[in-house]
Structure 1
Amino acid sequence: MFNPLQLIPLRLELRGTPSRTMAYASPLIAIVLTMILGALLFIALGKDPLAGLKVFLIDPFNGKRAISELLLKTIPLVLCALGLSVCYRANVWNIGAEGQLIVGGLFAGATLVWLDVPGHAIPGSLGLLLMILAGIVGGALWAGITALLRDRFNANEILVSLMLTYIAQLLLMYAVNGPLKDPNGMNFPQSKVFSAEFLLPALIPGTRLHIGFIAMLAAAFGMTVFMLRSFRGYALTVGGLAPLAARYAGFSSRSALWLSLLISGGFAGLAGAFEVAGPIGQLLPSISPGYGFAAIIVAFVGRLHPLGAILGGLVMSLFYIGGELAQSRLGLPAAITGVFQGLLLFLLLACDTLIDYRLRWHK
């Protein structure tokens, strides 16, 4: 049978041993190429490329408030990426961090709605602790559905976790239009605004950056120890890289599935709780602009390393802030943020492919 690919003389051939240095340099190369293609995009749109790159790379660092907003957006991105990194190292493809974030935020918001009433004499610190625990439990339970369906029925975790995201969005819509709706909210689909004592304390006075940033840094260092220095983390990594070797060594693939998904869901739920009790301060029909999906890119930019996720979170936060500034200052559409995210993901995959493979000319 005729194969049209035979007309193309270029072929991909596997390299012998890929360079470890190039593997870690791949995200940096992809970021630089993204900026170059972004400049060409600005030219195509009739905008000054230098002004466009300045909006994305420099203006987000212009002053204390701008930097605080940049760091604020890294919190949910890095927390979701930490959990996803665990899953991907264990070869469990969780694509539903967005849904787990939403359900975690819903659980946390419902807890605050229940606690933040005049009849409850609960200290704000205890209320925040309960809110955080509720968010973690909510995200873990939502990820547990994926683990259960994969474990019992061998359902594809990619499809299940992704479809559960849309169910989570509908649950949030139902909650803010029904049982959690503010009776004094002028019929808007939202919960009441939480009292100041049930909101996360500001880390820097006069900004929206809250103490969740410290918790995020602590989580990144804690997961570094777990993944690289603990037996359970080692078992997860071996199970992802070499399933047959892991089975021979007695490592349970079922345990790896449940543990990785519960950790991932817990971190995403924590991110949702921080959003609800942090910059948002109430439940709204949308509590995330897509942090759970963007965290997939963050995890791979960080090379599935917990500390690398911080670098990836900063880059993705730059895209979010830069995209918002590009809309207001350059008149560009809101889709510019997604375009830059897509460019980065595509170029990262391309760089990784060319590290493992090389193009050869075949006659």
Structure 2
Amino acid sequence: MRIEKRLQDSRAMMYLSPLLALLLTLVSGALLFALLGRPPLGSLYTFFIAPISDLYGLSELAVKVTPLLLCAIGLTLCFKAKIWNIGAEGQFVFGALIGGAVSLQLADSEGVWVLPVIIASGALAGLVWAGVAALLLTRFNANEILTTIMLNYIAVNLLLWGVHGPLKDPEGLNFPESALFASQTLLPVLFEDYRVSIAIFIALFMLVVIWVVLTRTLLGFQLRVMGENHNAARFAGFNGKKLIWLLLLFSGAMAGIAAISETNGPVGQLIPTLSLGYGYAAIIVVFMGRMHPLGILLASCLLGLTYLGGEMTQIDQGLPKSITGLFQGMLLFYLLACDLLISYRLVPGSNQTIKEHKV
């Protein structure tokens, strides 16, 4: 067998690649569980099926999907234009830090304006954090991959400083966490006894917004052209720097809102372990979803399920929580590998046979 470049990319493999990656992840996961001395099929059931086997599990899936989807929405527009924002995690954390600080300041405030101000503060914080990367890229041509990754670590350390310092609960028995947020600063839940909040509607609304932007607006056309060829976009008269600023700021704002959906939703306070990797997992969501709104929604559900499955496996199988990251890593690895089949294909024969034929 030899690898041959296709005359044009395979549209079928574009959509089959994520399914094939998921299948390979399941096979590898079963093998992993077997090597760990756990029943493979039973463990896969515990990881992928048991967490959503009842209504409460489905509601918890919606809780996990919400921040993933919000982060992925912002990243989709960036990646569509080949602006490689790897900093959604840092923008999420910084949005949580500032949004949490505002929530604590408004603990004694009342009124319908409280929640909008908190959501706006989180969005603005994420926007500002992404703006640092936009400035470095447009002014100094600094690689956005490197700058956004480094900003992630800075944001995490700022959060640690906050919960160990000025935002630490004075009555928290010296635990590094903030006070619990007041009830009026929390996002309303949809149903009693469930944790899913109105943030899921914000995420779904923004999903429709980016679908309209990508398919029905001039901006969507500009993003596609810029993604195909930056030089072509410049020759067409598109303002590349303006687009970079717009995309990174929007992506940061979405990550900041995602942070509020978590801190002012199920968590209800600032804690040092707030960073669960939603910003990184959202990158997998975007590529698995093929940068299409419906695909992003489905991929968010799958990645959200890995968080629930990891927690369930810890409880039921006694495995470490790193099992979640392991499954996410396998999924990304196989997705990248399977994506090669979009532009290349396996055909019978060998390179040696071709050389002999040419001679």
Gaps of 5+ in 2: 353-359
**1:146 — aligned with what?**
133
Is the CA contact 1:272–1:287 (under 8 Å) kept in the aligned structure 2? no
2:337 alignment partner, SS class = helix
Matches within 5 A, 1:127-276: 127-276=114-263
Identity level (%): 49
Q: 1:94 aligns with which of 63, 66, 85?
A: 85
For the Cα contact (< 8 Å) 1:221–1:307, is it kept in 2? Answer: no
For 1:29 and 1:103, locate their aligned partners in 2 and report how far apart those are by CA, in whole Å. Answer: 36
Determine helix, strand or coil for the equivalent of 2:269: coil
Letter in 1 for 2:285: V
Q: Which moved more, 1:157-166 or 1:57-66?
A: 57-66
Match of 2:36 among 6, 27, 45: 45
Is 1:300 paired with 2:287?
A: yes
- SS of 1:358's equivalent in the other structure is strand
Please state whether the residue corresponding to 1:143 is helix, strand or coil: helix
- Is 2:55 the partner of 1:82? no
Distance apart, 1:12 and its partner CA: 4.0
In structure 1, C-alpha distance between the alignment counterparts of 2:224 and 2:115, rounded to whole Å: 34
Aligned counterparts of 2:175 and 2:309: Cα–Cα separation in 1: 30
Cα deviations across residues 17-54 of structure 1 (Å, max 9, x unaligned)?
22212211211221122111111111111111111111
CA distance in 2, matches of 1:156, 1:18: 28
The answer (yes or no) to whether the contact 2:11–2:342 under 8 Å persists in 1 is no
SS in 1 for 2:4: strand
Matches of 1:198 and 1:172, distance apart in 2: 20
1:57: Cα distance to partner? 2.0
What is the number of residues matched between the two proteins? 350
Task: Check the 8 A contact 2:306/2:328 in 1, yes or no.
Answer: yes
Q: Give the deviation of 1:213 after TM superposition.
A: 0.8
| 1:57 correspondence with 2:48 | yes
| Distance in 2 of aligned mates of 1:196 and 1:211 | 15
> What is the aligned-residue RMSD (CA, Å)?
1.3
Q: Tell me the equivalent position of 1:7.
A: none
- Say yes or no: does 1:362 pair with 2:351: yes
Match of 1:282 among 253, 269, 281: 269
Q: How much has 1:306 moved relative to structure 2?
A: 2.4
Does the CA contact (< 8 Å) of 1:238 and 1:245 recur in 2? yes
Alignment correspondent of 1:73: 64
Structure 1, 134-143 or 279-288: larger mean CA deviation: 279-288
* CA-CA distance at 1:353 after TM superposition: 0.5
Q: Measure how far apart 1:13 and its partner are.
A: 3.2
* Structure 2 counterpart SS, 1:202: coil
Instruction: Report the CA distance between 1:11 and its aligned residue.
Output: 5.8
2:101 is aligned with 1:110: yes
Do the aligned partners of 2:289 and 2:299 also contact (CA within 8 Å) in 1? Answer: yes
- What amino acid sits opposite 2:113 in the alignment? L
The DSSP-based 3-state class of the residue aligned with 2:97 is helix
Conserved 8 A contact 1:141-1:265: yes
- Give SS of 2:174's match: coil
Question: Is this contact kept in 2: 1:135–1:272, CA < 8 A?
Answer: yes
Contact 2:95 2:255 in 1 (8 A): yes
What is the alpha-carbon distance in structure 2 between the residues aligned to residue 283 and residue 338 of structure 1? Answer: 23
Structure 1 distance, partners of 2:86, 2:167, is 28
User: How far does the alpha carbon of each residue in 1:178-223 deviate from its partner, in whole angstroms, 9 at most, with x for none?
Assistant: 2222222222211110111211111122111111111111111111
SS at match of 2:113: helix
Aligned equivalents of 1:282 and 1:44: distance in 2?
A: 39
Give CA-to-partner distance per residue, 1:303-335, whole Å, 9 cap, x none.
Answer: 012222111110001111111111110122222
Q: Is the 8 A contact 1:135 1:270 kept in 2?
A: yes
| Contact 1:96–1:164 (Cα < 8 Å) also in 2 | yes
**Cα distance in 1 for residues equivalent to 2:293 and 2:71:** 11
Q: Is the 8 A contact 1:55 1:325 kept in 2?
A: yes
Native 8 Å contact 2:13 2:341 kept in 1: no
Residues 245-304 of structure 1 show CA distances to partners (whole Å, capped at 9, x for unaligned) of 211211111112111111110100110111110011011112121111111101101101
Taking the aligned partners of 2:263 and 2:53, their CA distance within structure 1 comes to 27
Give the TM-score taking structure 2 as reference length: 0.94
| C-alpha distance in 1 between matches for 2:200 and 2:15 | 25
Whether the 8 Å contact between 2:226 and 2:232 is mirrored in structure 1 is yes
- Matches of 2:5 and 2:235, distance apart in 1: 28
